A and B are shown apart, each in its own frame.
Chain A
């Protein structure tokens, strides 16, 4: 381990030209929008179906969250033609997998399959969409299981912190409570799920993305054949506008004896179609959005306070948010918050260097290429873009937007979205050890 000769770092070769995927698109007679891309490589196909599924605001939103969660948990628990186990065996026999999930904006069905099994998987998908039966026994069983799983989930400090953060950011808006309580889950009946399915699981407004080793025309033809019989109609709700965030004191939730404090700061961020989007993405990367960022260099690689700090952006339909997250050792909590506030303050008040900006820009462009380099990655990306009203052109246009961002733009975006006073702070940790030192830095209340 003696230092050897310093050698010159080789230059990059000329980048290969990339081609935008060619997307076939058709809106079926039933209103379902289908996007399809041929991506050879492995003989598989990927499916992503998104159905708008936002709930109502206010008190009614609580029941909806529980029902939507259980609906996705039991959607594959039986159809008019098959039991849960039969359906699972038939999906498996195609070399396939199929799973349902829900969040505050949408119900999602995601699948992948040997391409030879795609017609079969689409047929089974059609059977689920038009004939899921929500058998009482399965609903009761999954209800009990969900209660257990929520308890397990909520035993994690990161989940406790996230729930508090969302409550503080969004209040009574549906985004303020993304997980149901045990009571809300226990109140759900099979008949409610059938009614919810009948009123909301409809093709109009839904988007199905298919990426795989087959032509778009063939993929769309298969979808049309299998899903033409899905004719339910529904009025799609979208999430209501977000309330103005009222930023209160930092919140400290006690986790007695915790060896780490779960530190989170969050606030609004620009959406994908916002003119600030590219500049913000780069400011966030330079601050703490990737390993080669200032914040990681500071609190991990210099001071060793934490293992995996990261600043991440999410894009729910009604408004994006940025979350700054680090789990820091208990004795370093106040010092870690101090450095975090310092780095946020720095990105919001002083210009980044051109080199930092260029490096973040290349990373952002590279990540996009990497994220769309597999069938599964491309399918998920296109599906998620469609939810923001964006098409495949975004994969070409966004790098151009990134290329145009200047140092001044990044400073402006940092000032607008990452200034520490704009963010809501939550800490989950051992009150006895961290309350007093953290209280020297910020106004603190117990959560």
Chain B
């Protein structure tokens, strides 16, 4: 098998005001044809030759990939090169994909209980800047007013070859692959790579709270979000990744043991970094998130004060003997499991290369995890205080 992945260094954060959701809409347009390929042909060349494919839009990047029998490596490279050189957007395809994206938002957010919780609901509470706080799935008015000209400009600006990372992983001969890469991508004219602005904004200095309502949900939930250190600095950032696991991964984690097994005050608890749940795929600023679903019989205050108590206890007393080792052992195993697939290897390398300039981190991450100390995790817990967090309460029903 082979995985071919192209990562463009543009995501939801680069959307201008009035064009929320455009990065994602544009991702759809990249599948609608290019100079050598008619609409739907990209799909049929991949699937019709035994492969699978997709694309996805994240806060800091948009990716496209194919996983195919390795005999189709050159074909996959050709398909990616053709749309990088010459994506073709027509009014008809734009109208069609606006309708498709609106249906995507309906099925994932509007007609789904807890839809968009917390990934679309937390950013406006935690962040002030438009880039960080806006709805990256898109407002329907913005989506409907998007034009072919917008797409042309977006492509010209952000889909420059120099703004992309191409990764090929699998059962391949690297020299042969590099030859094909040169052949198919080499003559795509270079153009200016956009400056990547910093999206950093000041840290919150007081607690921020908001309440959202969802008429489809039977029981409440709460999300708590804090800012983390800059993910670019892995040794400082990784202790927060480990902390999320210490708090929420499995029956032996702090919050699950306390709230699911002892108090029975919650029905499910999640903890993760990054809005989309991948701790290593976003730049600064990025959130540390705790998500608690609880029965109506548990008050919001009870949930929040229990979380605060456990965080304070960890900050005060530190980790138990062996708690760090077992947490890192499972994180390592889970990471290895992910990179067992050619696609997992390709996507992991792509983000490391794009955001840190070092695809080699794919092999180094287990060692970096091992270097995290109990003191660092304890210190990370000490930063998760009520006065710097955003708290979003989700309640059943409609606003009074």
The residues of A with any CB-CB pair to B shorter than 8 Å are: 1-16, 41-44, 76, 84-89, 91-97, 112-114, 117, 138, 141, 144-145, 148-149, 151-152, 155-157, 255, 257-260, 262, 290-292, 297, 300-308, 327-329, 358-360, 362-363, 365-367, 369-370, 373-377
CB distance A145 to B260 under 8 Å? yes
Q: A297–B44 Cα gap in the complex (Å)? A: 11
Interface residues of B in 233-277 (CB under 8 A from A): 249-252, 257, 260-261, 264, 267-268
CB distance B47 to A290 under 8 Å? yes
Q: A34–B6 Cα gap in the complex (Å)? A: 41
**If the complex has contacts A1-B152, A327-B106, are A148 and B250 also in contact, measured as CB distance less than 8 A?**
no
In the complex, chain A residues whose CB is within 8 Å of the CB of B293: 148, 152
* 5 cross-chain pairs, A with B, having the tightest CB-CB distances, nearest first: A366-B50, A304-B99, A359-B48, A88-B251, A95-B333
CB distance B86 to A3 under 8 Å? yes
Least distance between B173 CB and chain A CB atoms (Å): 11
Which of B40, B114, B151 is close to A1, meaning CB atoms less than 8 Å apart?
B151
Could you list 10 further interchain pairs (A-B, Cβ under 8 angstroms) beyond the known A148-B293, A300-B100? A4-B85, A7-B82, A92-B252, A114-B332, A155-B113, A157-B111, A370-B51, A375-B337, A375-B340, A377-B341
20 contacts between A and B (CB under 8 A): A1-B152, A3-B35, A3-B88, A12-B74, A16-B70, A16-B71, A16-B171, A88-B251, A92-B250, A92-B329, A112-B333, A117-B329, A152-B293, A155-B216, A255-B111, A304-B97, A306-B107, A307-B101, A327-B106, A366-B51
In the complex, chain A residues whose CB is within 8 Å of the CB of B82: 7
CB distance A7 to B36 under 8 Å? yes
Q: A15–B70 Cα gap in the complex (Å)? A: 8
Q: A359–B40 Cα gap in the complex (Å)? A: 13
**If the complex has contacts A145-B260, A304-B99, are A155 and B218 also in contact, measured as CB distance less than 8 A?**
yes
Asked whether B385 is an interface residue with its Cβ less than 8 Å from the other chain, the reply is no
Q: A50–B111 Cα gap in the complex (Å)? A: 35
CB distance A260 to B47 under 8 Å? no
Which of A13, A44, A156 is close to B336, meaning CB atoms less than 8 Å apart?
A44
CB distance A94 to B342 under 8 Å? no
Least distance between B350 CB and chain A CB atoms (Å): 19
Least distance between A368 CB and chain B CB atoms (Å): 9
Q: A219–B152 Cα gap in the complex (Å)? A: 57
Least distance between B203 CB and chain A CB atoms (Å): 33
In the complex, chain A residues whose CB is within 8 Å of the CB of B305: none
Least distance between B26 CB and chain A CB atoms (Å): 11
A-B CB contacts (within 8 Å), total count: 236
In the complex, chain B residues whose CB is within 8 Å of the CB of A262: 111
CB distance A93 to B329 under 8 Å? yes
Asked whether B377 is an interface residue with its Cβ less than 8 Å from the other chain, the reply is no
Q: A2–B151 Cα gap in the complex (Å)? A: 12
In the complex, chain A residues whose CB is within 8 Å of the CB of B151: 1
CB distance A6 to B35 under 8 Å? yes
- Encode contact with A along B57-97: 1 for CB under 8 Å, 0 otherwise: 00000000001111111110010001001111100000111
CB distance A94 to B267 under 8 Å? no
| CB nearest neighbor in B for A327 | B107
Q: A152–B97 Cα gap in the complex (Å)? A: 31
Q: A16–B333 Cα gap in the complex (Å)? A: 30
**If the complex has contacts A7-B36, A157-B111, A292-B44, are A152 and B217 also in contact, measured as CB distance less than 8 A?**
yes
